[in-house]
Amino acid sequence: MRWKCTCSYDGSDYAGWQKQPEQLSVQQVIEGVLAKLLKEPVAIQGSGRTDAGVHALEQVFHFDWDWRHGGKSLVKALHALLPKTIRVESAVEVDAAFHSRFSAVSKRYRYRLKLGEADPFQWPYCWPVPAQLDLNLLHAAMQALVGKHDFAAFAANRGSGLEYETTVRQLTEAKVSQDGDFVDLFFRADGFMYKMVRSLAGTVVNVGLGRLPLSEMVALLSSAQRAPLVQAAPARGLYLEKVFYS
Amino acid sequence: MRWKCTCSYDGSDYAGWQKQPEQLSVQQVIEGVLAKLLKEPVAIQGSGRTDAGVHALEQVFHFDWDWRHGGKSLVKALHALLPKTIRVESAVEVDAAFHSRFSAVSKRYRYRLKLGEADPFQWPYCWPVPAQLDLNLLHAAMQALVGKHDFAAFAANRGSGLEYETTVRQLTEAKVSQDGDFVDLFFRADGFMYKMVRSLAGTVVNVGLGRLPLSEMVALLSSAQRAPLVQAAPARGLYLEKVFYS
């Protein structure tokens, strides 16, 4: 039987989602706990990677195991064994045709900015930017990104080990939301490339700070070429918020 | 000249305030940064210790140095060098008679409870307790602590390396405040002993959960004897909130 699980994690202390040699990843921790629980190695498949330091509010993974005690007891057993920085929130039995990555139709990321300085407790969870950030300009820059575009200018291939069949993605939502001194950027698309959200966030913030004219950002998008002008925002402000399935 | 500084820190990754061999303390990090800035070793004096994992919203320390560029520039220079989990918020020149520890007239601590489970982002900053915690009982337990008492029952001498002249303290404030799923306990006194706040928090929570009758807590306080019944709440929920000077 196939289990679909959702989990949240504080990515601060992990080398990202994906298992890799000699570094502690979220996937590795969960697989380790499952192996302990089920007394055999189990491979889990995530909906996608998150980078080192990136957080998740609702990452999805699946795995196959003949667990006969129901989803609630699986969640309870995992809770007892997992570190507190990783929580499996739900486990439901799904059809064998379900695949956490290939069945996903879209994903939403949140990028959290802090206007002004971050205190020691906010620091691991946001990116502090100068308070003179122009929210109207920021909003305009976000709106210019919505739609179907070749986002090659905002993809970092180098170091990702990933080859993309296409760099065209459909961004269906690019929203700005303010909550006191925090400003959240929401990005929803049918898919994201390596460092794409952080590159988009870094760029719209540069527009909002008056460091990059909006017209240049639009030209950059049209160019479909990665440029040194595009700087990725730090990982710690980024959250995988939700994975959508049809 | 003498400088009085206030600082905040996320204690998660530090072995407490006090300098000690082979472990990274907040004091050691600040002294290291000052030595780098001033090109000579400088000793700082904190208002008191905080345990490993305990946070501070406004710890106070002082040091003597002939710094001629004003408090603002000192704060700015420290900010550039300190890790983001420690922030020096202010630096003001004070009279040589000022002493961060001996001039303090009282301190306020906050202990943060979470009703129900903590998510991965809340975990390092609170103590999750069962949601059936009775806030009226908790409040009554807190009120029973107010006043001048021998708090020996709530002091942990062992391992502290501290000898107390007296275990009598005056608790002037013991307040409960709810903020959604968070419940904050505030303790203000003329002084606190090693693990005293955490022992008080652990005990009033046991009363609020119906595990310890209020009358037994009162008897415990009167006994002025440490008992195994007294369990210290975890360090991560505790914040040194403010140090008061006359």
Quickly state the pLDDT bin for A218 (edges 50, 70, 90): very high
CATH of the domain at B84: 3.30.70.580
A49 and A138 both lie in a single domain: no
Residues A112 and A220 in one domain: yes
**Which of the listed residues B94, B128, B147 is the one where a domain comes to its end?**
B94
Is A227 contained in some domain?
A: yes
Cβ contact B182:B114 at 8 Å: yes
Q: In this structure, is residue B69 part of a structural domain?
A: yes
Same domain membership, residue A169 and residue A223: yes
Whether B26 and B78 share a structural domain: yes
Going by DSSP bridges, is the β-strand pair B168-179/B2-9 parallel, antiparallel, or unpaired?
Answer: unpaired
Whether A75 and A121 map to the same domain: the answer is: no
Which of residues 65 through 124 in chain A touch B, CB cutoff 8 A? 84-87, 117-121, 123-124
Number of domains within chain B: 2
Q: What is the pLDDT of residue B185?
A: 98
Out of B84, B118, B119, whose CB is closest to A120?
B84
Indicate if B70 and B126 belong to the same structural domain.
no
Quick one: pLDDT band at residue B165, thresholds 50, 70, 90? confident
Quick check: is B17 in a domain?
A: yes
Q: Kindly state whether residue B100 falls inside one of the protein's structural domains.
A: no
Contact A62, A100 (CB under 8 A): yes
For chain B, helix, strand, coil in percent to 5 are 30, 30, 40
pLDDT per residue over A128-182, tens digit each?
999 999 999 999 999 999 999 999 999 876 555 567 788 999 999 999 999 999 9
Residues B64 and B116 in one domain: no
Shortest Cα–Cα distance, B55 to chain A (Å): 9
Residue B37 belongs to a domain: yes
Q: Which of A87, A119, A124 sits opposite B119 (nearest CB)?
A: A87
B51 labelled catalytic: yes
CB contact under 8 A, A84 and B55: no
The CA distance from B7 to the nearest CA of chain A, in Å, is: 10
pLDDT digits 0-9 by tens, B104-121: 999 999 999 999 999 999
Q: Which pLDDT band holds residue B124 (cuts at 50, 70, 90)?
A: very high
CA–CA separation, B78 and B60 (whole Å)? 15
Q: How confident is the model at residue A156, as a pLDDT?
A: 76
State which residues form the domain around A61: 2-94
Which of A94, A122, A145 marks a domain boundary?
A94
Q: Are A100 and A61 in contact (CB under 8 A)?
A: yes
Residue A229 confidence (pLDDT): 81
Domain boundary among B34, B67, B94: B94
ipTM value for the complex: 0.73
B146 and B179 share a domain? yes
| Alpha-carbon separation of residue B130 from B118, B174, B234 (angstroms) | 11, 21, 15
Q: Are residues B120 and B214 in the same domain?
A: yes
Which pLDDT score is estimated for B164?
79
Cβ–Cβ of A8/B86 closer than 8 Å?
A: no
- Considering the domain architecture, whether residues B111 and B50 belong to the same structural domain is answered as no
Instruction: Please count the residue pairs, one from chain A and one from chain B, whose beta carbons lie less than 8 angstroms apart.
Output: 37
Residue A26 lies in a domain: yes
Q: What is the CATH number of the domain that holds A123?
A: 3.30.70.660
| pLDDT for the residue numbered A118 | 94
